Chain A
Amino acid sequence: MIANAGNPLTGDPVVFMPEISPGAIGGRGVKLTEPWIVRAGVIGFSAAFMLVFVCVPLTLVFVKAFEKGASAYVAAITEPDALAAVRLTLLTAGIVVPCNTLFGLAASWAIAKFSFRGKSVLTTVIDLPFTVSPVIAGMVFVLLFGIQGWLGTWLDARNVHILFAPAGIILATMFVTFPFVARELIPVMQKQGTDEEQAAVVLGAGLWRTFADVTFPNIKWALLYGVILCNARAMGEFGAVSVVSGHIRGATNTIPLHAEILYNEYRMNAAFAVASLLAFLAVITLVIKKFAEVKVKDELAVRGNHTAGGR
């Protein structure tokens, strides 16, 4: 067809047609990759870049943690201050993650399943904590609850302590980590549309039944990944927590703050032993992510076929 049409400007027939072999159109026979030397170069460079910036640092954490032997490692993570830090970290994550998960589910349901004015503004506000520096995130709570702050003196008179207390740490962590679940869920729920939910509602299911029996099975892997990432960030948050904690040993130190103190006291191996707990958590998070990612793709693919077939 193209050959018959010719070049519209000159009227000349198009000359390149005969050069296309039948195989080329199918994708074979056309060179769609680079010479091996380029390939090897690019792979080598990428691997080296990743090795220097990611693999070696990760290895170092574990090497330093176990340098003085397993008993020193166990001693470092079971000393009372370390245990107190672990407890506070678990408490923080234990409160922050469920709250943020509930918010993530509510926000993604409202955003993905309904259309309303100001949706893009809402999505932008949800993203805000990603762009706010953790230090500034912690600072806003100092401004609110500090002695010079708006509520500070009022709360102090009533003997309520938020700053330099676990409550402040929990609030700051909540701020920093709250977009994670919503961010994972919104795109998945948007792509899945509302057909199945509407069918369920027509059949008489209420909100809870619709969510639990129809939506949840479709989003469970995305939800798991969001929760896991939120958890990793909640346990590892440093900047925001550092501002509000006051660094009171045994009382307001989380695991990262405890690692910082040990590091500053030149107790390197103990610092890395404590740090390795969070490095373990990061590695586990990545493994679950990899696994969940495949499942999320399946979730989307299955749904995609449904809608494609239905329309």
Chain B
Amino acid sequence: MNLSARKMNRRSLPGFGLTMGISMLYLSLIVVIPLSALFFRTFDLTFPEFWKIILSPRVVASFRVTFGASLGAAAVNAACGPLVAWSLVRYEFPGKRILDALVDLPFALPTAIAGITLTTLYAGTGWFGSALLPLGIRVAFTPLGILVALVFTGLPFVVRTVQPVLETLDVEAEEAAASLGAGRWHIVTRIIFPSIRPALLTGFTLAFARALGEYGSVVFISGNMPMKTEITTLLIMTRLEQYDYSGATAIAVTMLIVSFALLLSINLLQARAGRGQ
């Protein structure tokens, strides 16, 4: 029944060949061929050469800085994002709609603009920087600065994945629990939190994946000291500028594999959440 309906569907609407052809052609030219060029390029390297590049101290240090800051920023967003989403969905307060619209700003504002803005803000002479300096907190040109920039870029991912789930949450379950005498804290932790958990995990992973590849918002504020505050994407950039294509390729392929693994885990997560519903 379902199968014949599918066949009907395919036969009765026009344009499958045309639209599929355009999509595949475009995808191949713009994405698949260029990306595979990157992978083929790694075959120029032998395995020992590849590992030597990847495990060199400066590259390992950049991985540590990038992964550490990205995880930290995703964690900050995973902790604060749901609260923002909760306020926007469940509460009324003045300026709520403006705040809601501004959640997407990090997504719409070019990364370089975010970079110079945050750096100016947190530099010793900046609005925030000059206030934090007497407390002995330096943000710009330290790993903390990288974290701040990545919290900014990751913000919409957590809020925007959790928010729709909160909006469609079944109030009846909460009503039932409340009428059974469950306290509010109990309801929030036992009923609401479990239902937003898959979305929260997806948002966390998206923010983390985005942070790993981030460049524009970080390079200005990070200070770019090798071994200390040099992120991996900047290292790739440096290698390219030195025409060290093999070095750049090895680092880039490693990063790509990590990103693809994260993308895959997001898809699996969503498939599992979809089955659960």
Contacting residues, chain A, for B245 (C-beta < 8 A): 142-143, 146, 148
Residue of B nearest to A193 (CB): B9
A50 touches B84 (CB 8 A): yes
Contact of B38 among A140, A237, A281 (CB under 8 A): A140
Residue of B nearest to A16 (CB): B180
Instruction: Judge whether B220 is part of the interface by a CB distance below 8 angstroms.
Output: yes
Instruction: Judge whether A129 is part of the interface by a CB distance below 8 angstroms.
Output: yes
Distance from A256 Cβ to chain B, minimum over Cβ atoms (Å): 4
Contact of B111 among A47, A129, A139, A239 (CB under 8 A): A239
Instruction: Judge whether A302 is part of the interface by a CB distance below 8 angstroms.
Output: no
User: How far is A35 from B121 in the complex, measured between Cα atoms in Å?
Assistant: 36
User: How far is A175 from B215 in the complex, measured between Cα atoms in Å?
Assistant: 16
A32-B171, A268-B120 as given contacts; A109 in contact with B15, CB under 8 Å: yes
User: How far is A210 from B15 in the complex, measured between Cα atoms in Å?
Assistant: 10
Instruction: Judge whether B276 is part of the interface by a CB distance below 8 angstroms.
Output: no
> Chain A contact residues: over half helix, strand or loop, or mixed?
helix
Instruction: Judge whether B207 is part of the interface by a CB distance below 8 angstroms.
Output: no
Which residues 14-59 in B have Cβ within 8 Å of A in the complex?
Answer: 14-16, 18-20, 22-23, 26-27, 30-35, 37-38, 41
Contact with B along A51-79 (1 / 0, CB 8 A): 01111111011001000000000000000
B87 touches A43 (CB 8 A): yes
User: How far is A132 from B188 in the complex, measured between Cα atoms in Å?
Assistant: 36
Contacting residues, chain A, for B22 (C-beta < 8 A): 102-103, 106-107
Residue of B nearest to A134 (CB): B215
Instruction: Judge whether A194 is part of the interface by a CB distance below 8 angstroms.
Output: yes
Contacting residues, chain A, for B237 (C-beta < 8 A): 135, 242-243
User: How far is A46 from B91 in the complex, measured between Cα atoms in Å?
Assistant: 11
- Interface stretch, picked from A4-12, A216-224, A285-293, A303-311, is A285-293
User: How far is A278 from B71 in the complex, measured between Cα atoms in Å?
Assistant: 29
Instruction: Judge whether A263 is part of the interface by a CB distance below 8 angstroms.
Output: yes
Contacting residues, chain A, for B252 (C-beta < 8 A): 133, 135-136, 139
User: How far is A120 from B271 in the complex, measured between Cα atoms in Å?
Assistant: 11
A133 touches B19 (CB 8 A): no
Contacting residues, chain A, for B34 (C-beta < 8 A): 140-141, 143-144, 175
Residue of A nearest to B261 (CB): A131
Which residues 20-46 in A have Cβ within 8 Å of B in the complex?
Answer: 20, 24-25, 27, 30-35, 39, 42-43, 45-46
Residue of A nearest to B97 (CB): A290
A24 touches B179 (CB 8 A): yes
A61-B117, A175-B34, A286-B105 as given contacts; A32 in contact with B174, CB under 8 Å: yes
User: How far is A1 from B238 in the complex, measured between Cα atoms in Å?
Assistant: 72
Distance from B91 Cβ to chain A, minimum over Cβ atoms (Å): 6
Contact with A along B109-125 (1 / 0, CB 8 A): 11111101110110000
User: How far is A58 from B117 in the complex, measured between Cα atoms in Å?
Assistant: 8
Instruction: Judge whether A154 is part of the interface by a CB distance below 8 angstroms.
Output: no
A114 touches B83 (CB 8 A): no
A260 touches B112 (CB 8 A): yes
B216 touches A25 (CB 8 A): no
Contact of A122 among B15, B23, B127, B174 (CB under 8 A): B23
Contact of B84 among A49, A285, A290 (CB under 8 A): A49
User: How far is A294 from B90 in the complex, measured between Cα atoms in Å?
Assistant: 18
Contact of B108 among A19, A99, A229 (CB under 8 A): A229
Contacting residues, chain A, for B15 (C-beta < 8 A): 109-110, 113, 207, 211
Q: Could you list some 14 contacts between A and B, CB below 8 A?
A: A30-B178, A53-B148, A56-B128, A57-B114, A102-B22, A113-B13, A113-B15, A128-B31, A130-B263, A197-B13, A202-B12, A232-B108, A238-B110, A283-B108
Q: Which 8 A-B pairs have the closest CB atoms?
A: A133-B213, A236-B110, A239-B215, A238-B216, A238-B112, A106-B22, A282-B108, A140-B34
